Amino acid sequence: MHDALLRDTTPECTGHWRNEQVGVGGGSISRHAATFVPHHHTRIPSLMADVLAFAQRADAYFRALTEYRAGNTNAIITAVAETFFAAAQNGRQLVDDIQAAVARWDHQVIALSDSSVHRIKQYLLRQPHLAGAGDPRRTRCCRRTG
């Protein structure tokens, strides 16, 4: 894929993971106005290993569907139940992670009570991913210009 996309423009970038932070859109000077900022380059090897592990797994769900089609409903019921238990555990972990993040922010951020940082914190709890500059109307903060 790298070779097909980059052969004619930047062949030195083919055959290995990128080694610097990048952004898509927004100009070449800075990533601050980027439309999309992908994961930091140091995370790529572990993220790609995760994708490969996902792609190479033996899929119990499809085996359960095959058994269901053959008349055995136990396998699909077990698969769905296990999924619900995993989702519940993931939800509990997410709540714990969010509460820990809030506690860290409350401990680390020292600001006046009417500071926009407090509105931004509340906004981030509802919208944890910001693309580009986000929407300053949500936090009543001024959009940076220039």
Asked if the structure places residue 73 within a domain, the reply is no
More confident residue, 129 or 59: 59
Per-residue confidence band for 138, with pLDDT thresholds at 50, 70 and 90: low
Asked if the structure places residue 51 within a domain, the reply is yes
**What percentage of the chain exceeds 90 in pLDDT?**
39
Asked if the structure places residue 8 within a domain, the reply is yes
pLDDT digits (tens, 9 = 90+) for 11-29: 998 999 989 888 888 777 7
Question: Phi/psi of residue 144, each to 5°?
Answer: -70, 135
User: Are 92 and 99 within 8 A, CB to CB?
Assistant: no
pLDDT digits (tens, 9 = 90+) for 60-119: 888 899 999 999 999 999 999 999 999 999 999 999 998 998 899 889 988 888 888 888
Question: Is residue 4 scored above 80 in pLDDT?
Answer: yes
Asked if the structure places residue 104 within a domain, the reply is no
| CB contact set of 87 (below 8 Å; sequence gap of 6+) | none
Domain residues for the domain of 41 are: 1-57
**What percentage of the chain exceeds 70 in pLDDT?**
87
| CB contact set of 98 (below 8 Å; sequence gap of 6+) | 125
Contacts 24+ apart (CB under 8 A), 89-92: none
Distance CA 95, CA 98 (A): 5
Per-residue confidence band for 46, with pLDDT thresholds at 50, 70 and 90: very high
Q: What pLDDT score does 118 carry?
A: 85
First to last CA, the chain: 37
Asked if the structure places residue 17 within a domain, the reply is yes
How many domains does one find in the chain?
Answer: 1
| Number of CB atoms found within 10 A of residue 120's CB | 19
Distance CA 37, CA 32 (A): 9
Per-residue confidence band for 47, with pLDDT thresholds at 50, 70 and 90: very high
